[in-house]
Every structure is written in C-alpha cells, then in structure tokens.
Amino acid sequence: MKHHHVETSASLAIVMPVYEDAEASERLFRELFDQFGRDVFVVAVDDGAIRQPLDIHPMRSAFLEGVVIRLRRNVGHQQAIAVGLHYVADHLSGAQRIVVMDSDGEDLPSSIPHLLSVLERDDIDVVVASRKSRQESLLFKVFYVLYKFLFSLLSGRNINFGNFMALKACALKRISAMQELWVHVAGCVLASKLRLGYLPLDRGPRYAGHSKMNFESLALHGFRGIMVFAERVLVRVGVFCTVIGGLAVLAAVLAIWLKLAGFATPGWFSVALGILMIVFFQTGAITLMTLMLTGVSRSGMVSTVDYRSYIDEVEHV
C-alpha cells in the first residue's frame, strides 16, 4: 500500500474496529452523519471478518466521508484500533481531533460532542470516558472490580476507562510512536504520561447482534493491560519477594534464639527452620527471575511496528 495523503476538509476523525458487526455499524454510520454531517471522516477497520465483512456502500449511502480498511487476518480489537490510529497519523494531517469508539452502539455518538468540549481545554491532551453504568451481569461487574484492584496493586496506576476516547493531534503523534499501543490502547494512554481528562458517561445498548467477547477474551484483554506496565509489575513483585525473604530470615533468627533459650518444643525448631529456609530460597529465586525478566523486557522491546503489513485493502468513499 502506497503512502498518500487523503484530501478531506473534516477536522474530526473517528476510528472504529468492526468485526462481524456489519448491521450495527451501518446504523452507527447513519447516526454519525446525523450528528456531524460532512465534518467527520470515519476510519472503519474491518478486523478480518468472514461472515459479515464490512462493505463501503453503507458508509457511502450514509453520505459519510471515510475509508474501510480491510485487514489480512483477524488481529484483535486492540491491534485493529492501532492500525486505524496509525492510518490517521499517516494520511489525515488535517485531523485535529481523533475519536476512538466501538462500532456496536455501546459508545453513543451523542456523547462525542461532550468529549470534544472537554478536549478543548489547554491542559488536557486526551479525554477518556469513564463508565457511570454498565449493562453487564453481576458476575462480570464483580470480576471487573477485582481486576481494577489487581491492576492498581501490580502497576500502581488506576484504570477505569476503555477505548472510547478523544485525542488531540499531538496526543495521537505521541501514542502512535509507542509500541504499547499494539498491546492495550487504554494502557498505552496511561503509560504515555499525556494529560488526561475523565468524563463519566453511560454505556448504551448494542444496536444489533451479540458481543464477540467471552469471559476468556475479557480476561486476556485485562492481562494485556497489565503487560503494558510489565517492568513496573516485575519490580513490585521483586520488592515484595525481597521483603518476604527478609522476614523469613528474621523469623529464622528468632527461631534459633528460642531454641538456644530453651523455649522450643521438641521437633518444632527443625520444622520451623526448614519451612523458613524454603520460603527464603523460593523468594530469592523469584526475585532473581524478576530482575532477569525486567532486563529482557527492556532490551527486547521493538521500537516500531509497520501497520501497513496488516492491511489487505483500503477502500475510499
């Protein structure tokens, strides 16, 4: 695919991944035109759909400006967004505001003006939608709370937003140069150190069909977010293991003192000292492995990914 500039007068670009969701995306196209008219350029990334491949005609019949990017294979929700954002960064130099949203209707087009109004502030680079209410089951909500706690514990950062966000052009330039964008979009935004604004928004119902994300997919998505902060997680695990190892040494010294002072019951000292030695050596081994993995993650990070290698075809309206 040759590099070329897309001629458009729209200053707003919307990136959305679409996977086997053609019916819902058609309705979204119409609502986006009703909301913004010709002032928006839509970049729809067809993530290797087979049953319902995304066609350019619904976008054309909705009178929208935009492109449909068809990928060679299914790469997943996050990498499809990364491809779309790289495309905007390379081809839409006039886009001053970029919105990332899902194509199923849960990210409401009527919420976009609210995101953009907050984005106008000089001290904000990215505005993210934090959810006020969710349509998911109680089990999902419980595990989501546990995930946020685990994420905060391991990474030291709080995450309470997804992919629905608005970015300035300078923010897009920054995150498109980050390898973490290909792992987890929200995690990349957190790691970018850009100035974030939070806007509480309700999640809408799906326009059509059912979610393609099962519990395993959601769990994998969550752990990919933690992977963005792999070095910080490894350091925290290493510090925790060091503390446990130090406590084991202190407990062993205390056990020896009790033995020498004659307070230990028969058999107690040998069992306690054996357990404490096992704990010490295990935590020491884990600490050593985390230090080695930290070095590997730092030296093994690829600087760039050529998004064009994922693209099979780009069709323009």
What are the pLDDT digits (tens) for 122-142?
A: 999 999 998 766 566 677 778
Mean pLDDT (whole number) for 20-28:
89
Mean pLDDT for the chain overall: 85
Residue 118 has what pLDDT?
Answer: 96
* Direct distance between the N- and C-terminal alpha carbons of the chain, in angstroms, rounded to an integer: 17
Higher pLDDT, residue 277 or 15: 15
Residues 170, 127 contacting (CB under 8 angstroms): no
Question: What distance in Å separates the CA atoms of residue 62 and residue 81, rounded to the nearest whole number?
Answer: 22
- Token digits of residue 107: 């990210």
2-10 CB contacts, 8 Å cutoff, 24+ apart: 3/90, 3/91, 4/91, 5/91, 5/93, 6/41, 6/67, 6/91, 6/92, 6/316, 8/41, 8/65, 8/92, 8/94, 9/38, 9/39, 9/94, 10/38, 10/39, 10/40, 10/41, 10/65, 10/94, 10/95
- pLDDT > 70 in the chain, percent: 87
Mean pLDDT (whole number) for 230-243:
81
Q: List b or e across 240-269, with b for residues whose CB sees 16 or more CB atoms inside 10 angstroms.
A: ebeebbeebeebbeebeeeeeeeebeeeeb
Question: What distance in Å separates the CA atoms of residue 17 and residue 26, rounded to the nearest whole number?
Answer: 13
Q: Which residues, 6+ apart, have CB-to-CB distance to 61 below 8 Å?
A: none
pLDDT at 102 over 80: yes
**Distances from the Cα of 287 to the Cαs of 18, 45, 65, 280, 293, in angstroms?**
42, 42, 54, 10, 10
Choice among 59-73, 105-119, 146-160 with the minimum mean pLDDT: 146-160
What are the pLDDT digits (tens) for 166-190?
A: 999 999 999 999 989 998 999 999 9
pTM: 0.81
Question: What distance in Å separates the CA atoms of residue 102 and residue 204, rounded to the nearest whole number?
Answer: 11
pLDDT at 18 over 70: yes
